[in-house]
Chain A
Amino acid sequence: MKLFIIILALFLIVCAIATCLHRTLLTSIIIFMAYSTIMSIIWALLESPDLAITEAAVGAGVTSILFFVTLKKIRAVETTEIRAGSAEESTAMAEGIGAEHE
């Protein structure tokens, strides 16, 4: 059990450093999700299940999703098609889709 805790703690430190140092934001967020999951397991092992549940739901779940959505909002995650076409073209297409979804 002690070995398991040591492995978890080491993984936690590695995740924390990798989150800061990774180049792309998307990968950082996925590593941050892993960090939160490990953290919730550690909370459960430290006999505070209240915190473990909250960490798993908020840290690994909702916060990461909000990060992803924000990345999409600021156009940090681009699909290849948008990058290929000009901005005006994609806006016009989006308008078309919007009219379609009425």
Chain B
Amino acid sequence: MSKKRRDYKLTFYSRIEDFVNGKEEFLLYRPTGTTEAKKLETLEEELTEAADLLEKREARQKVQDNTEPLDFLKRFHRLYGIIAVLVCATMMGMLMITVSWLPKFGEPGNPANNEVIARYIEKGQEETGAVNVVTGLILNYRGFDTMGETHVLFIAASCVMILLLIAEGEEKKSSYAFDRYLEPKNDIIIQKVAAFLVPVVFVFGIYVILNGHLSPGGGFSGGAILGAGLIMYVSAFGFKKTQRFMNEHVYKIAKVSALCFYVCCLSYYFYMGAHGYDNHIPLGTPGNIISSGLILFINIFVGTEVACTMYAFYALFRKGGL
């Protein structure tokens, strides 16, 4: 009984009780040598460290606010404006001249209303080798449009990087920590569901990409599915585990090489088509996985690019880096 009372005297609650009753000065009383004392010390150290970090950050921000590092950019400020206006005006003029050559909108004799659609549907499979006419259309006949779309996606990812990418340093860690603050870490339900679903999602995404010329789907949808699977994996297991197979290095290599190969494949089409040469790539038998010439490879490259972009969006929004 007496032992118990002595133990209670040492506890935190007894000290609070004493402090409330006015028996003891709570803030000055410190048990030394016990585990509690060590805990208190470490806590205080952490708090002071956090305060130091905050002070450093504020000081650095003040320094950044005071200096004007963009002086050299202001020198050509007016020139930039004039050049931008000129470039925009020439682009607009070119587009206007092109539009003025087009046939009138909505006339029944227009080639778009009678020739193109019939040709796509009747000869699409024969000419592109793709059973799925839509994929053959967007990657072969309309390959130029699709290349523009892919570049739009690339530019969007670059813009998000410019806005949200945080350089190396304390800022990066603290922003990620603040973003995950009070969020459940290693939640068992999410992890079990993800462990079951992520492989299925990945397999489905790869199937959609590889079967793009045979069944509905294609590079963009398959890549989006893969990206969604990656995001699910990240939200379940955290960035540390994901970075083992998907880090900045892998992202750079995968994305840049996919874009380059994609442009090479399409350039081949453009060059051969514009000069009226024959397509030397065998189309194979329609219905096989390896058929339809370059469409399969273009699908794979687009899929890689889209999956990387989707994951990069999420990672940049979450922690300002990959």
Asked if residues B54 and A91 are in contact (CB atoms below 8 Å), the reply is yes
Beyond A57-B224, A62-B224, whether A82 also contacts B181 by CB under 8 A is yes
Known: A53-B217, A57-B225. A98 touches B177 (CB 8 A): yes
Residue of B nearest to A95 (CB): B50
Chief secondary structure at chain A's binding surface: helix
Instruction: Check B313 against A66 for contact (C-beta < 8 Å).
Output: yes
- Alpha-carbon separation in the docked complex, A58 to B182 (Å): 28
- Complex: A53 Cα to B225 Cα, angstroms: 9
A69-102 near B? 1/0 per residue, CB < 8 Å: 1101100000101100000101111111111011
A64 to chain B, nearest CB (A): 10
Task: Choose from B50, B53, B314 the contact partner of A65 (Cβ within 8 Å).
Answer: B314
Q: Does B231 contact A (CB under 8 A)?
A: yes
- Nearest-neighbour CB distance to chain B for A92, whole angstroms, equals 4
Instruction: A62 to B225: give the CA distance in the assembly, Å.
Output: 9
- CB pair A98–B176 under 8 Å, yes or no, is yes
> Is the pair B218, A50 in contact by a Cβ cutoff of 8 Å?
yes
Say yes or no: B208 contacts A73, CB within 8 Å: no
Q: Contact: B220 with A62, CB < 8 Å? A: no
In the complex, the answer to whether A66 meets B317 with C-beta atoms within 8 Å is yes
Task: Evaluate contact between A98 and B221: CB separation under 8 angstroms.
Answer: no
In the bound complex, do residue B318 and residue A69 qualify as a contact, i.e. CB atoms below 8 Å apart? yes
- Are A50 and B217 in contact, with the CB atoms below 8 A? yes
Which of B47, B224, B310 has most chain A Cβ within 10 Å? B224
Within the complex, the shortest CB–CB distance from A95 to chain B, in Å, comes to 4
In the complex, A91→B51 CA distance in Å?
A: 9
A54 interface residue, CB < 8 Å from B?
yes
Residue numbers in A under 8 Å from B199 (CB-CB): none
Smallest beta-carbon distance B202→chain A, Å: 13
A82–B182 contact, CB under 8 A? Answer: yes
Interface pair B221/A57, CB less than 8 Å apart: yes
Residue of B nearest to A69 (CB): B317
Of listed B170, B177, B179, B217, residue having the most chain A CB within 10 A: B177
Q: A96 near B47 (CB under 8 angstroms)?
A: yes
Using A82-B181, A94-B174, A96-B47 as known contacts, say yes or no to A50 and B216 having CB atoms under 8 A apart.
Answer: yes
Known A-B contacts A81-B182, A91-B54, A95-B53; A101 and B173 likewise in contact (beta carbons under 8 Å): yes
The 10 closest A-B pairs by CB, nearest first: A98-B177, A49-B216, A94-B178, A57-B224, A95-B50, A69-B317, A53-B221, A54-B221, A61-B228, A98-B173
Given contacts A82-B182, A97-B181, 16 further A-B contacts (CB under 8 A): A53-B221, A53-B225, A54-B224, A57-B221, A57-B225, A61-B224, A62-B224, A62-B310, A62-B313, A65-B314, A70-B317, A81-B182, A92-B47, A94-B177, A96-B49, A99-B46
